[in-house]
Structure 1
Amino acid sequence: MKIASYNVENIFDLQRSGHEYKEYIPYSKSNWNDVNYKKKLKNIAKVIKDINPDIIGLQEIESLHALKDLRYALKRAGVYYPYYKIANLKDTTVKVAILSKIPFVYTHEIAVTSSYRYRNILEAKFKINNKDLYILVNHWKSKAGPESMRIVSAKKLKKRVQELGKDKNIIALGDFNSDYEEYEIFQRKRRHNDTNGITGINHILGTVKYQTDAQHTQVEPNDFYNLWYDTAPEKRYSYIYRGKKEAMDSILVSAALLDNKGIDYKIHSISAFEKPYLFRGKAIYRWQTTRSKLRRHKGKGYSDHLPVIAEFVLH
């Protein structure tokens, strides 16, 4: 079973909601129009088709309309996702969503806070080979905000895991806007470190304790293991910022997914999706806009993030 996470970099529909970023106001001078919208959908659909995941968590989808349009573009490309959901109870500019070939038992939105500065977490429960699997799709506060804001989301996620139960198969994935070793990186960036060195992804979720490959890791209940530790250090990235590779996106697993029973993570299967067409030179071939004051869409490129993929086996 293949599970992926992908920040698709702003899929906005062509309906005005009043919440759009300036360059995504439909039919304005920014050229966000039918031609460019279809091109964006087709390009992202190509990436997802080439991965062909059973379940994919998405970030930066504007609306249910946009998610359905992406699903239709995928169908036209030959991949069908009958089950889909977007976290749209809160009118944030972009939202998290999920596409699945496997039916949901239920989906549920976790409100991090009532503030629009925090995006809701999307929870989906699956029943696979009579085993329960929970997937929690995240998109935490960007680096425009300090670490304390990401900790708010981390605590809410942790609380939900404790409610579900420590023996459950839980995958938390998404754009955490945190490197897998954020606690080291943000020490150098004082404006982010407003928490005395404590980070959401490493300390609140417990990933800092487990830095060996998956085979040699015993995760304690209520902690998560970051799958990036199960591949070579040079492969641990999903984003390139000013020439430096960073792992802003992660797939985290609970102890139950490493216990050789029921559903299990397939050892060494974590990877970024690194097809040549997703790069221009050493940079990720993101969706292209002009550099003018009002950015105009060029109708080329994909996303500024690479998808992250992991495989799971059913015993």
Structure 2
Amino acid sequence: MKIATYNVENLFDLKKSGAEYVEYIPYSQSAWDDHSYKTKLKNLSKVIRDIDADIIALQEIESREAFKDLRYQLKRDGLYYQYAKIADAKNTTIKVALLSKVPFVYTKELVVGYAYAFRNILEVKLKVNNEELYIFVNHWKSKAGPESQRISYAKALKKRVQELGNKNIIALGDFNSHYEEYKIFKRKRKHNDTDGKTGINHVLGTINYQTDLSPVLKIKEDEFYNLWYDIDKDDRYSYIYKGKKEALDNILVTGALLDHKGLDYKEDSLHSFVKPYLFKGKNIYRWQMSRGKVRRHKAKGYSDHLAVVAEFTLNTN
């Protein structure tokens, strides 16, 4: 079973809601119009089809309408996801979603905070050959905000994981946090308002398991292993900022998915989804916009993030 996460970079629909980013106001000077929108859908569809995951988490989708159009484009292009959910209970500008070939047992949303700045986390429970699997789709606050805001996401997620207990749990998405964020942000006053503590490392416990998968890690029930540690350091990235590779998108698993019983992570399977067409020179071939006072859509490119993919197997012994 292949599971992926992909930040699609601002998939806005063509209905004016008043909450859009300026450059995504439909039919304005920025040329966010039928041609740009259809091109964006087709380009994202190509990437998602090439990944061909059984379950894929998505970030930065504006609305149910945009999500429906993407799903329809995928179906037209030969990839049908029968099960789909977008976290739209809260009216944030962009939202997280999940596409799946595996049926849902239920879906719900975790409220991180009531302020507009906080997006809900999407919780989905599935059953794979009678094995329960919980997936949490995240899109944490960007680096425009301090670490305390990302800690709010981590605490909401941790609280729910503690309620569930020893289960097969995957937390994935755009955490806007490097897998070793605690090393990177220490000297950045703008970010470090938490005395060196980070959401991804300290609250979720990934700082305690910075090793490979052999021998099997004895992970505490409410802590996670970051699958980036399963691959070579040079390959750990999903984003490039000013020529520097970063790993903002993560797939975290609980110990139940590493115990060689039932549903389990397949060792050495984690990878960022790298294809030549997703790059322009040394940079990721993001969705293209002109520079200048009025930024215009060029109707070219994909996303500023690469997808991250992992495989899971069912051990029947």
Cα contact 2:111–2:120 (8 A) shared by 1: yes
Distance in structure 2 (CA, Å) of the matches to 1:188 and 1:221: 32
- Give the structure 1 partner of residue 209 of structure 2: 210
For residues 116-164 of structure 1, give each alpha carbon's deviation from its aligned partner in whole angstroms, at most 9, with x where no partner exists.
Answer: 1010000000011101000000000000000000000100000010111
Distance in structure 2 (CA, Å) of the matches to 1:292 and 1:311: 43
Q: For 1:1-315, what aligned pairs fall within 5 Å after superposition?
A: 1-165=1-165, 167-216=166-215, 217-315=217-315
What's the offset of the Cα at 1:177? Answer: 0.2
What's the offset of the Cα at 1:292? Answer: 1.5
Distance in structure 1 (CA, Å) of the matches to 2:293 and 2:120: 31
Residue ranges of structure 2 left out of the alignment (5+ in a row): none
Distance in structure 2 (CA, Å) of the matches to 1:131 and 1:173: 19
Paired letter, 1:231: I
What's the offset of the Cα at 1:295? Answer: 1.2
For residues 268-303 of structure 1, give each alpha carbon's deviation from its aligned partner in whole angstroms, at most 9, with x where no partner exists.
Answer: 111000101000011000000011122110000000
What's the offset of the Cα at 1:87? Answer: 0.4
SS of the residue aligned with 1:78?
A: coil
Distance in structure 2 (CA, Å) of the matches to 1:233 and 1:218: 23
Paired letter, 2:66: A
TM-score of the superposition, structure 2-length normalised? 0.98
What's the offset of the Cα at 1:215? Answer: 2.7
Paired letter, 1:86: I
Distance in structure 1 (CA, Å) of the matches to 2:239 and 2:218: 29
SS of the residue aligned with 2:72?
A: helix
Cα contact 1:214–1:227 (8 A) shared by 2: no
Paired letter, 1:66: A
TM-score of the superposition, structure 1-length normalised? 0.99
For residues 239-290 of structure 1, give each alpha carbon's deviation from its aligned partner in whole angstroms, at most 9, with x where no partner exists.
Answer: 0011000000000000100011110000011100010100001100000001
The alignment covers a number of residue pairs equal to: 314
What RMSD, in angstroms, separates the aligned Cα atoms of the two structures?
Answer: 0.7
For residues 183-234 of structure 1, give each alpha carbon's deviation from its aligned partner in whole angstroms, at most 9, with x where no partner exists.
Answer: 0000132211111110000000000011111233321211000000000000
